[in-house]
């Protein structure tokens, strides 16, 4: 059965009021109508099983019959700081990071970042990527939605790294350690992973990260594309720690 996203503020007791794009998707795309059973989630870990009571001019009313509180299986809270890639790769990265369990995504601006967001584009891009995360959560069965944060400069994420139990930077450097070795026996809660742009982080950035206590990790002997690197790292964390 298809799952749909509803905002927490749309839930009024045992009734859900749906409007805007999601109502259009339910009624006009999926061709659902009054009397049909439906599953919705609000992005906070709750799933709602109910039935459509009525459809009226682009909105609908759902009667909640059952609520599931879905707990995230992993004890680890993962933040992916992803250097902005060229073209539309960020959409793909946000989608796959959502499917692979990331809790937060930070679009990262580094020295070698080619894609730059002007001030007027930042809010629109942020909203777009959040919508990508919502769609991916619907598709993959997540009851929560990763938060796509505003784009941040490298130095700001570096300063934030101290708030995590472990912070890792995937890079091409002679001082890296194997990822499996770095995460072995990790018992903390919060994890930050940093993926660089095309061309990798600069030497200055790598040295600054190492000086800040961020662990430099290798993703193997082959050089991965930026979108592949994010998927690879999150996949390994899923295997090792059930992110």
Residues 44 and 127 in one domain: no
Q: In which band, very low, low, confident or very high, does the pLDDT at 77 lie, cut at 50, 70 and 90?
A: very high
pLDDT of the residue at 72: 66
Residues 157 and 204 in one domain: yes
Give the pLDDT of residue 27: 87
Domain containing residue 166: CATH number: 3.40.1280.10
For residue 243, what pLDDT band results from cuts at 50, 70 and 90? low
Task: Tell me the C-alpha to C-alpha distance, in Å, between residue 39 and each of 3, 12, 32, 68, 163.
Answer: 5, 16, 12, 11, 36
Q: Final residue of a domain: which of 17, 46, 69? A: 69
Residues 6+ apart with CB under 8 A from 168: 179, 182, 183, 191, 192, 193, 194, 214, 215, 216, 217
Q: How many domains does the chain have?
A: 2
pLDDT, tens digit, 9 for 90 and up, residues 212-228: 999 999 998 889 999 99
Co-location of 22 and 89 in the same domain: no
CB 94, CB 132: distance < 8 Å? yes
CA 158 remoteness from chain centre: 20
Domain with 214 in it: 77-241
SS (HEC) of the chain? CCEEECCHHHEECCEEEECHHHHHHHHHHCCCCCCCEEEEECEECEEEEEEEEEEECCEEEEEEEEEEECCCCCCCEEEEEEECCCCCHHHHHHHHHHHCCCCEEEEEECCCCCCCCCCCCHHHHHHHHHHHHHHHHHHHCCCECCEECCCEEHHHHHHHHHHCCEEEEECCCCCCEEHHHHHCCCCCCEEEEEECCCCCCCHHHHHHHHHCCCEEEECCCCCCCHHHHHHHHHHHHHHHHCC
Question: Are 160 and 57 members of one domain?
Answer: no
Indicate the residue among 52, 69, 86 that finishes a domain.
69
Residues 93 and 160 in one domain: yes
pLDDT at residue 239, as a whole number: 84
Q: Among 69, 87, 106, which residue terminates a domain?
A: 69
Per-residue pLDDT averaged across 7-26, rounded? 90
179 and 219 Cβ atoms separated by less than 8 Å: yes
Q: Please state at what angle helix 89-99 crosses helix 122-140, rounded to 10 degrees.
A: 40
Q: Kindly indicate the confidence band of residue 120, based on its pLDDT and cuts at 50, 70 and 90.
A: low
CATH of the domain at 19: 2.40.240.20
Is residue 97's pLDDT more than 80? yes
Domain shared by 49 and 113, yes or no: no
Is 65 in the same domain as 96? no
The answer to whether residues 228 and 200 belong to one domain is: yes
Q: What percent of the chain has pLDDT over 70?
A: 95
Q: Are 78 and 101 contacting, i.e. CB atoms less than 8 angstroms apart?
A: yes
Sign of the CA dihedral with 87 first, then 154, 77, and 239 last:
positive
What tens digit of pLDDT does each residue of 47-63 get? Answer: 999 999 999 877 899 99
Distance CA 162, CA 50 (A): 44
52 and 127 fall within a common domain: no
Q: What is the pLDDT of residues 175-194, one digit of tens each?
A: 999 999 999 888 889 999 99
Residues 124 and 157 in one domain: yes
Whether residue 155 sits in one domain with residue 218? yes
Q: CA 164, CA 79: separation in Å to the nearest integer? A: 9
- Is the pLDDT at 167 greater than 90, yes or no? yes
Q: Is the pLDDT of residue 129 over 80?
A: yes
Q: What is the pLDDT of residue 21?
A: 83
> How much is the mean pLDDT over the chain?
90
> What pLDDT does residue 70 have?
79
Do 93 and 147 fall into the same domain? Answer: yes
């Amino acid at each position: 059965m298809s799952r749909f996203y509803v905002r927490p503020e749309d839930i009024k007791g045992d009734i859900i009021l749906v409007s805007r794009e999601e109502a259009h998707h339910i009624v006009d795309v999926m061709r659902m109508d009054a009397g049909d059973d439906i599953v919705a989630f609000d992005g906070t870990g709750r799933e709602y099983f109910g039935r459509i009571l009525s459809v009226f001019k682009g909105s609908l009313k759902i009667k909640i019959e059952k609520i599931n509180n879905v707990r995230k299986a992993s004890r680890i809270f993962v933040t992916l700081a992803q250097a902005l890639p060229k073209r539309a790769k960020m959409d793909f990265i946000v989608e796959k990071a959502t499917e692979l369990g990331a809790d937060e995504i930070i679009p990262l601006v580094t020295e070698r970042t080619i894609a730059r967001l002007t001030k007027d584009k930042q809010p629109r891009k942020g909203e777009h990527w959040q919508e990508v995360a919502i769609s991916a959560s619907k598709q993959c069965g997540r009851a929560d939605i990763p938060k796509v944060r505003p784009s941040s400069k490298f130095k700001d994420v570096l300063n934030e790294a101290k708030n995590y139990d472990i912070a890792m930077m995937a890079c091409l450097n002679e001082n890296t350690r194997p990822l499996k070795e770095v995460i072995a026996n990790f018992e903390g809660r919060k994890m930050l992973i940093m993926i660089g742009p095309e061309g990798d982080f600069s030497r200055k950035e790598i040295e600054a990260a190492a000086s800040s206590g961020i662990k430099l990790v290798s993703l193997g002997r082959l050089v991965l594309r930026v979108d592949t690197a994010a998927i690879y790292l999150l996949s390994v964390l899923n295997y090792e720690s059930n992110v």
